[in-house]
Amino acid sequence: MAPQDRLTGELLRVEGLTVSYGDHQVVTDVGFSLRRGESLALIGESGSGKSTIARSVLRLLPRGVGRATGTVEFEGQEILSLSERRFRPLRGRRIGFVPQDPGNSLNPVRTIGVQAQEAAALIGEKGPEVVLETFDQVGLDNPRRVYDSYPHQLSGGMLQRVLIGLTVLPRPALIVADEPTSALDVTIQKRILDLLSQLRQDLNISLLLITHDLAIAAERADSLVVLKDGVVQEAGSTASVFSAPSSEYARKLHADVPALNPDRYQHLRDSDRPVGEPPRIEVRGVSKTFTVDGKVLTAVDDVSFSVAPGTTHALVGESGSGKTTTIRLLLGLEEPDSGSITVAGEEVTRRSHASLRSVRRHLQLVYQNPFTSLDPLWTVKRLVGESLDRYRVGDRDERVREALDSVGLSQDLLSRRPTALSGGQRQRVALARALVLRPDVIVLDEPTSALDVSVQAGIVEVMLTLQASLGLTYVFVSHDLALVRQLAHTVSVMRQGRIVESGPVAAVLDNPQEPYTRALVDSIPAGADPVAGGVS
């Protein structure tokens, strides 16, 4: 290898990579190459095979199940055919790995220090000094405390810093990062990605970034490989793929990312709405405290907002901000300590069970995760029709069909069970289930956060079409500001149980007054180039 190759040459070359689990082929004839010091993003939705490719490069496919063929060349050496014994010295030392969910990526019953020492041992260091130095370098405030902690004592963001620290500690030439931020809150996402970019520059490490988020990839990678069902759809420099996507799929993906298309649904959002009517939802001075282990926790602190009929109000905040408690109060699942909530002129708080039932009929909920919120043993017909039985509504079959129609599901699915449906279909069933009683208000608790972007786009479109045609009022809980910008009319930003800022979406997001809101807005990945990204 020529000397300049060591600095700028090709580091990783993948050619004709095909991976199968048993008889099931998940990656077909994939090829790409990554030069030293550069970064490449593998983009795709669930099932695209992107994580499988990452694991093939690290040779961490499930033992005895996954089989990879083709060529993976790292620093000029074919590594796919190496024996485990000859490959193992490369792991950690030359190729590092940053996993997706920091919460389950460290051994829960061993201290961080014990696990960090494994990384230090790769470069022959026995003492804690190197580890503490690295923790400091990745921005952990109290390295000693982190070193002595167990994983469950640290937050997700801190754990990801630890894991990144352990990965860069042996100074590898390549880092494979598999969705390194998708399990983290948005403001932390940005900080973690910034950290990765900076370490990469300082230490001249190449990055193979696996992500579903086109906007993140565009912001962080030099070149992109777009995958679908294990096949490369398009590859090239970020700028070219972004400004002129040549494949159908890349174009669709680009159109479906909320951060890149803030005005996509403007025509639906701005449809005619009755003017001068009283608010459909009115929340006034609501507080709620919980007592946990003798300590009083204020989950919701003097929260007020109102929502006009036929509009969408977004509740935005990170985990622990009080969003979920607020909607539980709104739905009458929890009694507030003080304050009042009215929906369509009727008081929700301080009511008997029986009278709450009549309010709930006009107030429906769609849960976050359609993979856990639908009883797997029930058919679609029974799931959607359940509330009709509860409220003894006649001509049920007719109403169920109508609800399925309105969310764009075929009647053929009536006898299916949730396990035979895709994630998007499931969430449409959940939406149909909420619609079947013809409510005025639907509360949506992060309805798309468990779904792929293209599936999300479908759900959002259905939601907005329904709102325009039926005059529904939505309360939309989300941590995704880009999505909020696309579909909401008004927004309340919550932090530690309080509303820190509230108003029309455009006003709040374009000109945030509070530092916290600004941090949230800044954390929206902007894409490669604002002009090419379609930000008007």
Partner 1 sequence: MKYALRRVLQAVVVVLLAYVFTFVVISVLPGDPVTNTLRNPQNGFSEEEIQRIVAYYGLDRPVHEQLWQSLSRFVVGDLGVSLRSGLPVSRLISEVLSSTLVLAASALGVALVLAFAIGFGTQYLPKRYGQGLLRAFPSLFLSVPNFVIGLLLINVFAFQLGLFRVIDSEGGLATLFAAIALGIPVSARIAEVLVANLDHESAEEYASVARSRGLGRTGLLLRHLLKPSSLPVVTVVALAVGELLGGAVITEQIFGRTGIGSLVERSVTTQDLPVLQAVVTLAAIVFVGVNLIADLVYPLLDPRVRLGESRSRPKVEVAA
Question: What does the binding site for partner 1 look like in residue numbers (CB under 8 A)?
Answer: 55, 58, 60, 62-64, 88-89, 91-93, 95-97, 99-101, 104-110, 114-115, 118-119, 122, 150, 152-153, 163, 166, 292-293
The residue among 67 and 110 lying less far from partner 1, judged by its C-beta, is 110
Question: Do residues 17 and 29 touch, judged by C-beta distance below 8 A?
Answer: yes
Residue type, 231: V
- Return the SS3 of 72: strand
Q: Which are the contacts of 323, defined by CB distance < 8 A and separation ≥ 6?
A: 315, 316, 317, 477, 494
Dist CA 454 CA 479 (whole Å): 18
Residues 6+ apart with CB under 8 A from 190: 522, 523, 525
Q: Which residue do the tokens 């017909």 mark?
A: 381
Comparing CB distances to partner 1, the nearer of 172 and 525 is 172
Give CA–CA dist 281/326, Å, rounded.
13
Of the candidates 1, 82, 75, 92, which has an alpha carbon nearest to the alpha carbon of residue 34?
Answer: 75
Residue number with CB closer to partner 1 (15 or 148): 148
Q: What is the smallest separation between the CB atom of 59 and partner 1, expressed in angstroms?
A: 9
Residue 332 CB, shortest distance to partner 1, in Å, is 27
In the bound state with partner 1, the residue whose beta carbon lies nearer, of 153 and 201, is 153
CB of 159 to partner 1, least distance (A): 11
SS3 335: coil
Distance of alpha carbon 292 from its chain centroid, rounded?
A: 29
Distance of closest approach, residue 508 Cβ to partner 1, in angstroms: 36
- Quote the least distance from Cβ 95 to partner 1, whole Å: 8
Separation CA 162–CA 143 (nearest Å): 10
- Sheet of 441-445, strands arranged across: 363-366, 441-445, 473-478, 312-316, 490-495, 498-504
Nearer CB in complex with partner 1: 181/364: 181
Q: Which residues of 457-496 are buried (b: 16+ CB within 10 A; e: fewer)?
A: bbbbbbbbbbbbeebbbbbbbbbbbbbbbbbbbbbbbbbe
Cβ distance to partner 1 smaller for residue 14 or 166: 166
- Of 107 and 201, which has the nearer Cβ to partner 1? 107
Least spacing, CB of residue 101 vs partner 1, in Å: 7
* Cβ nearer to partner 1, comparing 46 with 104: 104
Of 101 and 229, nearer to partner 1 (C-beta) is 101
Indicate the pairing of strand 312-316 with strand 295-307.
Answer: unpaired
> Least distance to partner 1 from the beta carbon of 55, Å?
8
Q: How far is the CB of 113 from partner 1 (least distance, A)?
A: 12
User: What order do you get walking across the sheet with 346-347 strand by strand?
Assistant: 295-307, 281-292, 338-343, 346-347
Closest CA to 40 of 277, 227, 253: 227
Q: Which of 152/350 has CB closer to partner 1?
A: 152
CB nearer to partner 1: give 120 or 407.
120
Give me the helices (H) in 101-142, please: 112-121, 129-137
Please provide the DSSP assignment of 213-241 as one string: -HHHHHHH-SEEEEEETTEEEEEEEHHHH
Strands 66-74 and 231-237: unpaired
Q: How far is the CB of 107 from partner 1 (least distance, A)?
A: 5
Least distance CB 232 / partner 1 (angstroms):
25
- Measured from the CB of residue 110, what is the shortest distance to partner 1 in angstroms? 7
